[in-house]
Amino acid sequence: MSAKIRLYVEQPLGQGQSVPLTREQAHYLFGVMRLAVGGRVALFNGRGGEWLADVAEAGKRGGTLTCLELSRPLQLPPDLWFLFAPIKKARTDFIVEKAAEMGAARIMPVQTEFTNSERIRQDRLQAHAVEAAEQCGGTFVPEVADLQRLDKVLDAWPEGRQLMFCNEAEVGSALRLAENEKGRPWAILIGPEGGFSERERARLTTLPYAHVVSLGPRILRADTAAVAALTMWQQALGDWA
């Protein structure tokens, strides 16, 4: 008894729970995916694991699903924040999608001195994180925060959270993550296309919780650096082991 279609919903999920569908969800399930009454769907809401459900009512503008059984327990990602400076729209979308797939718990766009964009579409980016979770089998959806200034984020930095600072000035150096900080809350920081300013770099390298790393002998684009940094962190300190 499995379902090929995975759908994120906001309602509570539980044995026998009926889940009313929005117009868009009904259109997707019955119009696009051609599901009918009795068809199977996997549901998750980011809090209650994944549930196998079947279609109880199918209409053009709505419908209802009924939860049958828990098919997968909630799997939380490691306590990892992913901070990045938003770049062009398509690349920013890519970064959010990859951070969600790679297991970031919270995605935080930050405005640095050389960040061009003044604003982001938080709702659109959040929708990308939902879609990424739907397609990668995740049961958790990371929150995408609104754009905040990097200096403000650092001013309010929570005690005990470590920061992996990907510093392009270290290109080619041997600085890597030590594996001795496992199990702690962490964050990763990736800069914009223009890199970090001297002032930012000076502050970031002296923070007691910062771990400066190099991502190899080549300067990577920010979207590539995002995936490389998440890979490096997951392998050394995350849930890949």
Least separation in angstroms between residue 184's CB and ligand SAH is: 21
Q: Which two tokens stand for residue 219?
A: 């300067």
Q: Please say which residue, 52 or 177, places its beta carbon nearer to ligand SAH.
A: 177
Q: How far is Cα 186 from Cα 238, in angstroms, rounded to an integer?
A: 10
Q: Please say which residue, 178 or 219, places its beta carbon nearer to ligand SAH.
A: 219
* Buried b / exposed e along 150-181 (16+ C-beta atoms within 10 A): beebbeeeeeeebbbbbbbebeeeeeebeeee
Q: Please say which residue, 100 or 166, places its beta carbon nearer to ligand SAH.
A: 166
Q: Please say which residue, 136 or 171, places its beta carbon nearer to ligand SAH.
A: 171
Least separation in angstroms between residue 111's CB and ligand SAH is: 14
- Of the candidates 175, 192, 157, the residue with the CA atom closest to the CA atom of residue 81: 157
Taking residue 104's Cβ as centre, other Cβ atoms within 10 Å add up to 29
Least separation in angstroms between residue 197's CB and ligand SAH is: 10
Residues forming contacts to ligand SAH in the complex (CB under 6 A) are 166-168, 170-171, 190-191, 193-196, 214-216, 219-220, 222, 225
Q: How far is Cα 12 from Cα 104, in angstroms, rounded to an integer?
A: 23
Q: Please say which residue, 208 or 217, places its beta carbon nearer to ligand SAH.
A: 217
Q: How far is Cα 133 from Cα 154, in angstroms, rounded to an integer?
A: 28
Contacts of residue 28, Cβ cutoff 8 Å, sequence gap at least 6: 7
109 and 85 in contact (C-beta within 8 Å)?
Answer: yes
Q: Please say which residue, 45 or 115, places its beta carbon nearer to ligand SAH.
A: 115
Q: Please say which residue, 183 or 217, places its beta carbon nearer to ligand SAH.
A: 217
Cβ-closest position to ligand SAH: 191
Least separation in angstroms between residue 214's CB and ligand SAH is: 4
DSSP structural state of residue 22: P
- DSSP per-residue string spanning 86-121: --SHHHHHHHHHHHHHTT-SEEEEEE-TT---S---
Least separation in angstroms between residue 117's CB and ligand SAH is: 14
Least separation in angstroms between residue 192's CB and ligand SAH is: 6
- Give the helix/strand (H/E) hosting 128: helix 122-136
Least separation in angstroms between residue 223's CB and ligand SAH is: 9
